[in-house]
Amino acid sequence: MSSAASDSGLVLPPRPAALGTAAHKGDAGRVVCLAGSREMPGAALLASRAALRAGAGLVTLGCLDAELLALAPAATPELLLWDLSSKSAFGQLDVVGLERGLGARSPDVVVCGPGLGVTERTGLLLRNLLPAWGGTLVLDADALNLVAESAALRRALRDREDAGALTVLTPHPGEAARLLGDGGGADLGADEEARLAAARTLAGDLGSLVCLKGAGTVVHDGSRAWVNPSGNPGMATAGSGDVLAGCLASLLVGATRDSVFEAVCAAVYLHGLAGDRAARRLGQRAVIASDLIDELGPAEVEGPWRA
């Protein structure tokens, strides 16, 4: 295994203010989260709150359900909202409308997938998003399950790579197996060599940087690999992956092809260290995903970041 990052030499991408500039919230990063549903509103809120807590200056939640649109301001008043709940707002083949909406919000990073559900509507969103968005993209959860089912979406991901766009995929072992077309193959939860091989294959096949989640999350860009040393079993709880998606979005602001690998390693380590801090404070059994968000700030201070 080759590695461009170690647990004692990770680089935490600085916010503009940390460089002594006269930064405003837009300079700190704009993130759009396309996430959540009537059945899983929490995923959207966890991902969005994590992006804010990890340093993004403006986070917009694109809501496909009116219930989430109503719930979000009380749960996270710092969020901006984008109403995608009506048929007219997101109609059949509305690539132009989605592209226009993203352009108006000028995001640095888009997150798509947490809590959306594997539905026709999510498929429509993803089929529209991949050609419409040429910037940095994090695909998580149900977006990955749809990619696993669609040769057209796989081609669209490779087209993004050919166009120079950055894509980060965050499968858990089950999602990785589906993406590989190998639901009954090697144990991608416990076998480190199998996990490294799977992440490398997915990175090459899908033109993306891959975070294969689990105990010792593997980060792979097709040529370089890194295994995360932070984290603990208490993080095996609903919503932990949504928090990681938000952390990734925030730390990917400003990332280039040369710096994206280290930015992703830093986000994964930060997420795991937040989980370690939560477990020390509460005990592993008691940790829930919201606790990880609360510990992101202290974890940033504690982390072994290289200047």
Predicted local distance difference test score (pLDDT) of residue 5? 60
110: tokens are 């888009």
**Residue for token pair 């990619």:** 147
Contacts 24+ apart (CB under 8 A), 121-125: 121/64, 122/146, 123/150, 124/90, 124/92, 125/34, 125/64, 125/84, 125/90, 125/98
Kindly give the interhelix angle for 192-206 and 151-162, rounded to the nearest 10 degrees: 80
Predicted local distance difference test score (pLDDT) of residue 2? 44
Confidence (pTM): 0.93
Q: Give 307's pLDDT tier (boundaries 50, 70, 90).
A: low
Cα dihedral 134→139→217→118 (10° resolution): -170
Predicted local distance difference test score (pLDDT) of residue 211? 98
Q: Which helix (H) or strand (E) holds 31?
A: strand 30-34
What's the CATH number of domain 16-302, 3.40.190.10, 3.90.1150.10, 3.40.1190.20, 3.40.50.620? Answer: 3.40.1190.20
3-class secondary structure for 157-187? HHHHHHCCCCEEEECCHHHHHHHHCCCCCCC
Which DSSP letter does residue 217 get? -
> What contacts 194, CB < 8 A, 6 or more positions away?
185, 186, 187, 188
**Residue for token pair 């072992």:** 173
Which DSSP letter does residue 207 get? T
Give which of 301, 297, 305 is closest to 55, Cα–Cα.
297
Summarize pLDDT for 168-227 with one digit per residue, the tens: 999 999 999 999 997 545 688 888 999 999 999 999 999 999 999 999 999 999 999 999
Summarize pLDDT for 106-164 with one digit per residue, the tens: 999 999 999 999 988 899 899 999 999 999 999 999 999 999 999 999 999 999 999 99
Give the chain's mean pLDDT: 90
Predicted local distance difference test score (pLDDT) of residue 249? 98
Predicted local distance difference test score (pLDDT) of residue 228? 97
Predicted local distance difference test score (pLDDT) of residue 8? 54
Q: Give 13's pLDDT tier (boundaries 50, 70, 90).
A: confident
Predicted local distance difference test score (pLDDT) of residue 281? 98
Whether residue 3 is predicted with pLDDT greater than 60 in this model: the reply is no
Summarize pLDDT for 223-273 with one digit per residue, the tens: 999 999 999 999 999 999 999 999 999 999 999 999 999 999 999 999 999
Give the mean pLDDT of 274-299.
98
Predicted local distance difference test score (pLDDT) of residue 86? 72
CB 111 within 8 A of CB 133: no
Predicted local distance difference test score (pLDDT) of residue 16? 63
Summarize pLDDT for 280-292 with one digit per residue, the tens: 999 999 999 999 9
Predicted local distance difference test score (pLDDT) of residue 95? 40
Contacts 24+ apart (CB under 8 A), 252-256: 252/108, 252/109, 252/136, 252/138, 252/166, 252/168, 253/13, 253/28, 253/29, 253/30, 253/31, 253/55, 253/56, 253/108, 253/109, 254/13, 254/29, 254/108, 255/13, 255/136, 255/166
Predicted local distance difference test score (pLDDT) of residue 20? 57
Predicted local distance difference test score (pLDDT) of residue 270? 98
Domain spans in the chain, listed from the N-terminal domain onward: 16-302
Predicted local distance difference test score (pLDDT) of residue 198? 96
Predicted local distance difference test score (pLDDT) of residue 186? 66
Instruction: Report the side by side order of strands in the sheet with 136-140.
Output: 80-83, 58-63, 30-34, 109-112, 136-140, 167-170, 209-212, 218-220, 225-227
Q: What angle do CA 48, 231, 16 make, to 5 degrees?
A: 45
